[in-house]
Each structure stands twice: as structure tokens, then as C-alpha cells.
Chains A and B, each alone.
Chain A
Amino acid sequence: MTETLLSTHGLTAFYGDFQALFGVDIELHRGETVAIIGANGAGKSTLMRSITGQLRNEPAMIRSKGEAIGTLDAPDVLARGIAMVPEGRRLFPSLSVEENLLIGAHGRKGGGYWQLETIYEMMPILRERRHHGGTALSGGQQQMVAIGRALMSNPEVLLCDELSLGLAPVVVKEIYAAFPKIRESGASIVVVEQDIGQALKVADRVYCMMEGRVTLSGPPGTLSREAIHDAYFGVSA
């Protein structure tokens, strides 16, 4: 068995009185790419926010290599090697493209594969645009900056929340073209998507979520279209 880098154990999450997650169990092993799919409102982003310390949990509900990290705040989670590309990119408008990338390395100690140079090699358009304001780019280019910014911390685990949101299919393909390189660098990946197509192509394993619960999981090859459809939209009567 390869090492478990990240796992959740009966994870619950609340917004005030509203419960958004009802006991979610997921695992990410070293070297894996895992996809989490589900309709809008299924709780995918809530799961990502819980893992990255933006929502409070009980300590043991989230583990990083066995260590309970459920109550750590965002900078401490990042220090455990878990970085996130947040939903909607969330670039810093006051920072240039290059500064957006550099700030991703803010909490980093020491070197690693991902430096400005390696990011620019993988996504040359960002080098051309490096002095532009981060938010002056096209949606696809902004998404590349957001990915590069997360990689600059040289994470062991890269969480990507809806990379394809609002992007044309050809642009989504371009973005996902970076994945082999990211895996090669040693990062294990979690992709959250509503758009199942790309996610199933890159994933070793899939979790399907609905209404705050995992309704189906397994390697994409073993899941039938009907099973995914039911887990995604609810069983059709």
C-alpha cells in the first residue's frame, strides 16, 4: 500500500445551523490523482474549505499522513504541503502575474522543483504576461496563474476546485494538459469538478458527492455511466 497523504474521517461541516457535509470519508494516496465530482451545491467546495483550514472541524476528522490536522488554520495546512487552487481563481488584483506567482511561495522554506522558471516553462504565456495585472488576463490564463501560484509552494498535495468553471472546452483541455507535468513533479492531486469529462480522464479514482455525502467511489473504469448518473443526480424513479 502506498502512503495515505490526506484523508477525511466522518467529516461534517456547518455554516451556522446549516449542515453542508454529513460524514465524508475520502483518501488520497501518494502519486494519485483523485476526482471529486458532483452537482452544484453537493458540498465539494465545503470539503476543500474544510481541508484547507477555512472551516473549523474536529481535529481527527482530517488527517495528513496520519497527523490530525482538522483544527489547523490555513497557513498551517499549507505548511503540511497541502496547497489549493480556490474556486473562482481568486487572484490578487493588486498584484502582477509574477507577484501572484511569487506570493504562492510566501510560506515556503527552501527550494523545490517549482520556481518561477519551471512555471514559465510549463506555461510560457505567463512569462509574456508577467508584468500584467493578474486580473487583466483571459479566464484560462488566470486559471494558469492560480495553478502556478499554488505550485510555487511546492506542495505534496494540490487541491483544485473547479478548474473548468466558466472556461471553453478547448481552454479546459489546455489547462488539463499541465497535469502530467504536475504529477511528474511529485504532487498528488485532487480535482473537484462538475464537468465530469475531464475529471474522469485524469483521475485514478473518483468520488461522487451529492447533498453533503459521498454516494459512489472507485476507479473510473469500474463505474458505469448509469451508476455515476444516479450518484450525481439522485436515483431516477
Chain B
Amino acid sequence: MIWVDTIVQGILLGGLYALFAAGLSLVFGIMRLVNLAHGDLIVLGAYLILTASTVFGLNPFLAALIAAPVMFGLGWLLQAHVLNRVLGADILPPLLVTFGISIVIQNGLLEGFSADSQKLSVGALDSASLALGPVTLGVMPLLTLISAVAVILILNQIFYRTALGRAFRATSDDAATAGLMGIRPRNVFAIATGLALVVATIAALYLGIRANFDPTIGPARLIYAFEAVIIGGLGSLWGTLAGGIVIGVAQALGAAINPEWQILAGHVAFVAVLLVRPRGLFPRAND
């Protein structure tokens, strides 16, 4: 029965990885841009929440409501003024630029907040749990998974049910023809990156509540996110959720066998899935 509990904990952990990955997946799906600063942007979001919660004395959930629009604006500006300039047929310039942004964010955070680890606290909720037979569900891990499902549900609704989502898909198909329809691809990209950073803020909230963070942990979050996106199939949001859960479960199982194997087991699962399904679990038909 211990295995059931381990797998359930892994699924819940997968919710966090799916949140890390959803913004990355959204941006990649729309503009084929791999944002190497995504992990650092999540960490930046965590510091924003921390700042808002200390300055205004707010619960982190309320502080995240303040951080989210700030992060949207930051994403919009970043895309409109930096990333749009380097998007093109060559994928190297955006990789280099986002790599540079990653370093800038890490060093900026070190300057501003020091290397000390920080944590967001929601009081008693931090460690609250529900006992369901053999399984103990932490309230925060459960909320994380529920939020991940909700985020992906909402992103899918936006993608497939709104005029904005239509513009996202059309621009991703063929930006020049989208221009003939009155769509400005650069605006669409700026909105998409803004939206991705709102999702990153939600990821940051749970990251900060569930674990310590410091300015240097971004790149490792990026790797989990990246693996989740690739396992799921590039451009598929539900696939990204599945990918996050695969990594979460693999890590939980690895850790149950030997605590040192947790991280390794996630990477092994990533390689194993790609060996069997090179295009991921839910590849998009027209890529």
C-alpha cells in the first residue's frame, strides 16, 4: 500500500512541474520560442510575491494577485521590446538572448535579495493534510495539482474558444497570412508571453510555499519544465500536464527506493518516454 501513497504523492508533485511547464509550453506552441529564462522568471515571480506580501502584510495568495498583473506587464514588455527583435528563421538568437536574460535575472535577484533562501508561508496551511485511508494528501500539494488542472483548462478554453485563441493559432500557423487578417503577430506574441508569466506567477506561488527558493534555482526548474513539455508533446497543453505527472511520479518512485535517486529517476523517465515515443505522448498533428 505504500506504493499507492508514493504514486499519489508523485502525481501531486507532477502538478507543480506542470505549472512550471505550462507557460513554457504556451510560448513554444505559439511562437516556437524556447525561453531559457523561464525558470528564472518563475523565481522572480516568487520574489515579487514575497515582496508584496511583506510590504503590504498580505497572505501569499493575495500577494500573487498583485504580482500577476506586474508579471503580465513584464512579459509583454520583454516580448515587445526584446524577444520580437530576435524571433526569426534562425533559432539561435532567441536562445542566446533568453540565456542572457536568465543570467541577468539571477544576478539582479542576488543583488536585490542576497543568496539567502526564502520561503512563502501560509501559516497552518503549510503543513495541513487530509488522511484518506492509506494515503495522506497534503493540502498545498493538492491545491497545486488542482491549480495546474485549472490553469490548463483555462488556457485551453482561451486557445480553442476565444477570438484571442484563434489569433494565437492562426499566427502560429502562418504569421504573414495572419497579418492579412488584421492580426499583428508581434502584439499576439506579447500577449502570449504576458499570459505565460501570469501562469509563471501561479507556479511561483506554489514553488515558494512548498519549498525554499533562492536566486539560483531557476535553471533546475527550467529543466523539469522542459522535460514535461517534451514528454507531453510540443505544443499540447494537456500533454504538458501528463508530462509533469510522469516526471513527478518517476521522482517519487525513485525517492522511495533511494532518496538520492529522486532527481535521477525523473531524468531517466524523460529519456525512457522519448525512446518509446520520440515526439512525446500527445504530439500535435501538424508540426
Residues of A within 8 A of B (CB): 52-54, 73-75, 78-79, 83-84, 86, 90, 92-95, 99, 102-104, 106-108, 149, 153
Mostly, the B contact residues are helix
Distance (whole angstroms) from the CB of B170 to the closest CB of chain A: 5
Q: Which of B167-196 contact A (CB under 8 A)?
A: 167, 169-170, 172-174, 176-184
CB of B258 closer than 8 Å to a CB of A: no
- Total of A-B residue pairs, C-beta within 8 Å: 66
> Contact at B176–A95, with CB atoms within 8 Å?
no
A107-B182 in contact (CB<8A): yes
In contact, B174 and A153 (Cβ under 8 angstroms): no
Given A93-B286, A94-B286, A106-B163: A78 and B182 interface contact (C-beta under 8 Å): yes
Q: Per DSSP, are chain A's interface residues mostly helix, strand or loop, or mixed?
A: loop
Q: Which of B166, B172, B181, B286 contacts A78 (CB 8 A)?
A: B181
Whether the pair A103, B179 counts as a contact (CB closer than 8 A) is no
| CB-based contact B169/A92 at 8 Å | yes
Number of interface residues of B (CB under 8 A): 18
Whether A52 contacts B180 in the complex (CB less than 8 A), given A92-B169, A93-B286, A103-B167, comes out as: yes
Residues of B within 8 A of A (CB): 163, 166-167, 169-170, 172-174, 176-184, 286
Do residues B179 and A73 form an inter-chain contact, with CB atoms below 8 A? yes
* Contact status of A86 and B180, CB under 8 A, knowing A92-B174, A95-B170, A103-B170: yes
Point out the residues of chain A lying under 8 angstroms from B286, CB to CB: 93-94
The answer to whether B181 and A95 touch across the interface, beta carbons within 8 angstroms, is no
Cross-chain pairs A/B with CB under 8 angstroms, 16 sampled:
A52-B180, A74-B180, A75-B179, A75-B183, A79-B182, A86-B177, A86-B180, A90-B174, A90-B177, A92-B169, A93-B173, A95-B166, A102-B163, A103-B170, A106-B183, A149-B181
Set A53, A73, A93, A104: member contacting B181, Cβ < 8 A: A104
By beta carbon, the residue of chain B nearest A82 is B180
Flag if B166 contacts A102 (CB, 8 Å).
yes
Q: In the complex, what residue of chain A is closest to B182 when comparing beta carbons?
A: A107
The residue from B166, B176, B184 contacting A103, defined by CB atoms under 8 A apart: B166
Minimum CB–CB distance from A138 to chain B (whole Å) comes to 19
Question: Which chain A residue shows the least CB distance to B159?
Answer: A94
User: Are A106 and B167 also in contact (CB < 8 A) when A75-B179, A93-B286 are?
Assistant: yes
